[in-house]
Amino acid sequence: MNDSNMERLVKMKKFINYLQNPYLKIFIAPLSLILFGAIMGVSHSQSPKWLAVILLYLIALTSQLTLHFLHLKFDRESSITDNPLLLRILQGLMILAAILLMIRQHWIIILLILFYLIYTHIIYYPYNISNTIYAYILAIFYESFILNIIAYYSQVGAINNDLLIHLIPIVLMFAGIYIQTFHLKDELSIYQPSKLWPRLRYLGYILSFLALALGFYLSLPSRSYFLVQILCLLVSGFALIPSLVVTKNSDQSQRKINYLSAVLSIFTIIYSLSVLF
């Protein structure tokens, strides 16, 4: 192997390590839950409502941190969760942001926000269903679909068929990535690992790459001479390749969870641009 190839491998490894950074997952990953709807909504709005975007991001951020706190508490019995103060602060901020966002919103959007807040807690209360197929379905429905619907509606005050169709690749990518994420979290749990997620692993790969292909198709016709569409295919495709690597220990599993969150953010951003351009 010559020096140039070695240098490329080193740069690639550094880039992957950067995407595995837990702080990147904490602050950037919640954006992937709302970014497509927000970008589409802002681009079609005559007067973008940036406060609504900020409040929805705060809801996504605090809800994901709440779910992670509950995951550490109930699935891994971590001592970090012994003090419930952090959980109360997160819940308080989430409720406050939700109340501020619900002001002057349509009653259906208010209901969707309330249902999302309930979703973040019924995964663990009254029963722990965190690593079941029910939790997986709820996660896909709320985190890839409902939050984007709320993000779009809060900007333009309507939902159209074009948005719903273009959301399909987002939902498929989340569905594929979340199979891997649920499998990894199941391995990190103190409970007996489920046999379900290993069986669905290849389905997760198929759904992820299907999302890429469908995303390319639905973003046509191109207004950028296919440059953005090709960029979406190449960058997202290369980002997905490391996700095929099987982890061997808990540290690798946690870093892969962080990496998969970054992949979702990358795809969401570039796919949104490919739809616009």
Condensed to tens digits (0 to 9), the pLDDT of residues 171-181 reads 999 999 999 99
Instruction: Give how far the C-alpha of residue 117 lies from the chain's centroid of Cα atoms, to the nearest Å.
Output: 16
**pLDDT value at residue 193:** 83
Residue 135 domain-assigned (yes or no): yes
User: Quick check: pTM over 0.85?
Assistant: yes
Nearest in space to 216 (alpha carbons), one of 144, 159, 166, 164: 166
What is the domain count for the chain? 2
**Phi, then psi, of 171 in degrees rounded to 5:** -65, -40
Segments forming the whole domain that contains residue 74? 26-159
Which of 159, 194, 217 represents a domain boundary (last residue)? 159
pLDDT less than 50: residues of the chain: none
Residue 10 domain-assigned (yes or no): no
Which of 159, 186, 204 represents a domain boundary (last residue)? 159
**pLDDT value at residue 149:** 98
Residue 274 domain-assigned (yes or no): yes
Which of 128, 159, 190 represents a domain boundary (last residue)? 159
* Residues 131/77, Cβ–Cβ less than 8 Å: no
**pLDDT value at residue 237:** 94
Whether 141 and 195 map to the same domain: the answer is no
Residue 20 domain-assigned (yes or no): no
Q: How far apart are CA 139 and CA 132, in angstroms?
A: 11
Dihedral angle over CA of 8, 9, 11, 12, nearest 10: 110
* Residues 95/59, Cβ–Cβ less than 8 Å: no
Whether 91 and 198 map to the same domain: the answer is no
Residue 21 domain-assigned (yes or no): no
Whether 146 and 32 map to the same domain: the answer is yes
* Residues 175/209, Cβ–Cβ less than 8 Å: no
Whether 246 and 173 map to the same domain: the answer is yes
**pLDDT value at residue 161:** 95
Tokens describing residue 131: 């690593």
Whether 209 and 94 map to the same domain: the answer is no
Collect all residues with Cβ–Cβ distance below 8 Å to 270 and sequence separation of at least 6: 228, 231, 232, 235, 236
